[in-house]
């Protein structure tokens, strides 16, 4: 940290929004040049962004979920890479809020309070796990923890979709232990045994660092076993998806704002238009109205899903968490449809001029399409329908391999 952390949420929000403004200025150019926003991610950490959900007793701001997701939507409007980069961090702080080991909770909360950032390393490339069975659709894990000759617990393996890890201080990695039990461990992101390979080649979300991470005998941090019990991961399926919904909502806002700018700057329309003034052309104005409707749809559904998950945490029962997941899945279907429609329709407001590289409208479709593919929406209508027709509630995939009790203190 080069500057002191803010002590109040109001001060933090001023600084956070200043960084958002800087992110927005260069987002399109960074997309064109594949430049990663390292300095601005660090500036967000200094501004207290990572402390938003940390409880007050641990030095955080303890904002509720609707507030967090609203701020992530602001971040997505500025640069849609940012919510994705920070998704692993906020997932970790959610785990820490309900971590059953008080020593681990205290240790890592203190790290976050001083500006530490977490990255993610859960998924593995198919070439690594080829031939291994994934019985529940959640994928297999070949990355393992072992005890070396010096008695240290070390992690070795290869991860992909390791979003945010190249920007982070610590990585929350999914591993198998020596008894083949699944779990999370915390490892240092900048250890010599961590190789961040910048090979993410997706059509969108290009600056998220979502490529390969190779781990070679990387030591597990003290108090590095987190999220082992079911309580620590309740509601996490919904949480990670709502981060995407917040990001898509931010993209929808950018689509509206940037398309309005295109229309205002346009000096002609088409020979079939009722007017040669784009700003008064009825068809062009209707495009803008349609985009705004899609934006408002995304905003409303984001807020609804956020409040439903907040209510599930307050209730604390499995029925409420399952209902929240169903609600989140419903929002996912509708928000993706709305934002992808807006990202396509925006080109109708400007004709051939809108497809030029310098206008950068294409990045919104590419980013939204990438986010829409992350947790495949194709399965969600069936999940929703099965619940409504047959009463079958979805069960969290995060529960696999985690026990239901015990006090490690």
pLDDT tens-digit series, residues 350-374:
878 788 888 899 999 999 999 999 8
**CATH 1.10.540.10 for domain 9-117:** yes
Can you tell me the distance from the alpha carbon of 102 to that of 265, in angstroms, rounded to the nearest whole number? 57
CATH of 126-228, one of 2.40.110.10, 3.40.228.10, 1.10.10.10, 1.10.8.60: 2.40.110.10
pLDDT tens-digit series, residues 285-306:
999 999 999 999 999 999 999 9
Domain boundaries, the chain: 9-117, 126-228, 234-399
pLDDT tens-digit series, residues 173-228:
999 988 888 889 999 999 999 999 999 999 999 999 999 999 999 999 999 999 98
Q: Which residues are 144's β-sheet partners?
A: 156, 176
Instruction: Tell me which CATH homologous superfamily contains domain 234-399.
Output: Butyryl-CoA Dehydrogenase, subunit A, domain 3 (1.20.140.10)
Instruction: Quote the DSSP letter at residue 56.
Output: G
Can you tell me the distance from the alpha carbon of 344 to that of 131, in angstroms, rounded to the nearest whole number? 39
Distances in Å between the Cα of 198 and the Cα atoms of 107, 233, 310 are 30, 29, 36
Distances in Å between the Cα of 164 and the Cα atoms of 48, 85, 91, 372 are 17, 4, 12, 18
Can you tell me the distance from the alpha carbon of 211 to that of 5, in angstroms, rounded to the nearest whole number? 30
Helical axes 65-78 vs 282-315, angle rounded to 10°: 150
The answer to whether residue 1 scores a pLDDT higher than 50 is yes
The number of beta carbons lying within 10 Å of the beta carbon of residue 200 is: 19
pLDDT tens-digit series, residues 26-85:
999 999 999 999 999 999 999 999 999 999 999 999 999 999 999 999 999 999 999 999
């Amino acid at each position: 940290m080069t500057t002191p952390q803010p002590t109040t949420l109001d001060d933090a929000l001023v600084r956070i929004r200043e960084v958002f403004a800087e992110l927005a200025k260069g987002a399109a150019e960074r997309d064109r040049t594949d430049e990663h926003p390292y300095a601005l991610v660090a500036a967000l950490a200094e501004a207290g962004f990572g402390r938003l959900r940390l409880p007050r007793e641990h030095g955080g701001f303890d904002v509720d979920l609707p507030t967090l997701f609203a701020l992530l939507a602001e971040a997505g409007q500025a640069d849609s890479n940012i919510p994705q980069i920070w998704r692993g961090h906020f997932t970790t702080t959610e785990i820490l809020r309900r971590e059953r080991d008080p020593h681990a909770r205290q240790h890592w909360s203190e790290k976050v309070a001083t500006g530490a950032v977490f990255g993610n390393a859960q998924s593995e490339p198919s070439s690594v796990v080829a031939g291994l069975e994934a019985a529940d659709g959640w994928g297999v894990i070949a990355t393992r923890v072992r005890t070396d000759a010096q008695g240290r617990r070390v992690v070795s393996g290869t991860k992909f979709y390791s979003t945010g890890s190249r920007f982070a201080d610590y990585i929350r990695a999914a591993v198998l232990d020596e008894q083949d039990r699944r779990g999370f461990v915390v490892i240092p992101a900048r250890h010599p045994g961590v190789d961040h390979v910048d090979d993410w080649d997706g059509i969108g979300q290009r600056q998220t660092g979502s490529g390969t991470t190779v781990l070679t005998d990387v030591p597990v941090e003290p108090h590095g076993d987190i999220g082992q019990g079911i309580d620590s991961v309740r509601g996490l399926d919904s949480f990670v998806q709502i981060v995407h919904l917040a990001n898509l909502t931010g993209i929808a806002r950018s689509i509206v704002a940037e398309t309005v700018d295109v229309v205002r700057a346009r000096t002609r329309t088409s020979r079939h238009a009722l007017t040669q003034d784009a700003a008064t052309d009825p068809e062009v104005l209707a495009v803008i109205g349609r985009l705004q409707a899609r934006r408002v749809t995304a905003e409303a559904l984001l807020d609804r899903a956020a409040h439903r998950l907040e209510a599930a945490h307050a209730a604390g029962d499995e029925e409420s968490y399952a209902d929240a997941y169903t609600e989140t899945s419903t929002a996912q279907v509708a928000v993706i449809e709305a934002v992808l429609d807006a990202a396509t329709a925006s080109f109708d407001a400007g004709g051939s001029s809108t497809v030029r590289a310098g206008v950068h409208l294409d990045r919104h479709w590419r980013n939204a399409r990438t986010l829409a593919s992350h947790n495949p929406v194709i399965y969600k209508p069936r999940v929703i329908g099965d619940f409504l027709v047959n009463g079958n509630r979805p069960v969290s995939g995060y529960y696999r391999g985690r026990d239901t009790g015990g006090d490690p203190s």
